[in-house]
């Protein structure tokens, strides 16, 4: 099975900061990588799929990059409403796997 490793597991940043979260796959997953945001007590929501395609309605301050084994989620200017846990997901065939999550705090 492909393991997805996110780093850091948590971070604290200020409003307006640029935030970068990384996700590393134990084997290449091409660009079959999605990112989700889960706010406290809420349901996960899709931010990005195909490594860099922004889901409709997601603010443009979110961006994704990478292919193969190394991926990045960037928040260009952190906003208070971005406080959440972020998960990457590999969908390069079953079993699908999620990263352990990155908790972003202010």
Partner 1 sequence: EVQLVESGGGLVQPGGSLRLSCAASGFTFSSYTMSWVRQAPGKGLEWVSDINSSGSKTYYADSVKGRFTISRDNSWNTLYLQMNSLRAEDTALYYCAKAGDMSWYDHWGQGTLVTVSS
Contact positions vs partner 1 (CB under 8 A): 1, 32, 34, 36, 38, 43-46, 49-50, 55, 87, 89, 91, 94-101
DSSP code for 3: -
- The SS3 call for residue 73 is strand
Which one, 32 or 75, has the nearer CB to partner 1?
32
The distance of closest approach from Cβ of residue 31 to partner 1 in the complex, given in angstroms and rounded to an integer, is 10
The distance of closest approach from Cβ of residue 19 to partner 1 in the complex, given in angstroms and rounded to an integer, is 19
Which one, 8 or 18, has the nearer CB to partner 1?
8
The dihedral through the CA atoms of 20, 77, 87, 12 has a sign that is: positive
Which one, 33 or 75, has the nearer CB to partner 1?
33
Residue 4 contacts by C-beta under 8 Å, 6 or more apart in sequence? 23, 24, 25, 26, 88, 89, 90, 97, 98, 99, 100
């Amino acid at each position: 099975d492909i393991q997805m490793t996110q780093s850091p597991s948590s971070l604290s940043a200020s409003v307006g900061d640029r935030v970068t979260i990384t996700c590393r796959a134990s084997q290449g997953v091409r660009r079959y990588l999605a990112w989700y945001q889960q706010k406290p007590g809420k349901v996960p929501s899709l931010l990005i799929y195909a490594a860099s395609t922004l889901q409709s309605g997601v603010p443009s301050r979110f961006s994704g990059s990478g292919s193969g084994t190394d991926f990045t989620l960037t928040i260009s200017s952190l906003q208070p409403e971005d406080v959440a846990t972020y998960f990457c997901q590999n969908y390069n065939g079953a079993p699908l796997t999620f990263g352990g999550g990155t908790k972003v705090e202010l």
